Amino acid sequence: MRHCCEIPLAFATEMRYFSGMSMLTLTPTAARGNLSELLRRAIQGDDIGIVVDGKIVALRPVTVESTDYAMREYGLSAGEMAHFEQRIHGQIQKADKAGRLHQFTGDIEALVAGKGH
């Protein structure tokens, strides 16, 4: 005999805790209405899953390290990116020696008005 919490995932109800799992699972429709709260709970460590086509897709915070961003977004090779970095660092050093760099104080309004450096 099947217990109420042993329903196949493809037939998951709006929200359900499955026995043997400590994961809250939801349908996409239920998740959509509570997405901000679900994301906050996931950040705090709660296991949250959205059931799609009988499979669970987990909501979990991830650490983003964009080491391949330039390649994915602009098609730059590692060599092209290294050349770009060298060129930009050279421009920054040149601007610093010429006194054209200013420390940002955090006052964005003054910076936009041309007063903050």
- Model pLDDT for residues 19-70, shown as the tens digit of each residue: 455 788 999 999 998 899 999 999 999 999 999 999 999 999 987 777 788 8
* Confidence at residue 85, expressed as pLDDT on a 0 to 100 scale: 92
Rounded Cα distance between 56 and 110, Å, is 49
CATH topology for 4-59 is YefM-like fold (3.40.1620)
Give me the residue spans of the domains in the chain.
Answer: 4-59, 69-112
Do 12 and 27 form a contact (C-beta atoms < 8 A)? yes
Percent of residues, the chain, with pLDDT higher than 70? 80
Contact 52, 25 (CB under 8 A): no
Q: What is the pLDDT of residue 52?
A: 93
| Residue with the two structure tokens 């964009």 | 66
pTM tops 0.85: no
Q: pLDDT tens for residues 76-117?
A: 888 998 999 999 999 999 999 998 887 788 888 887 887 765
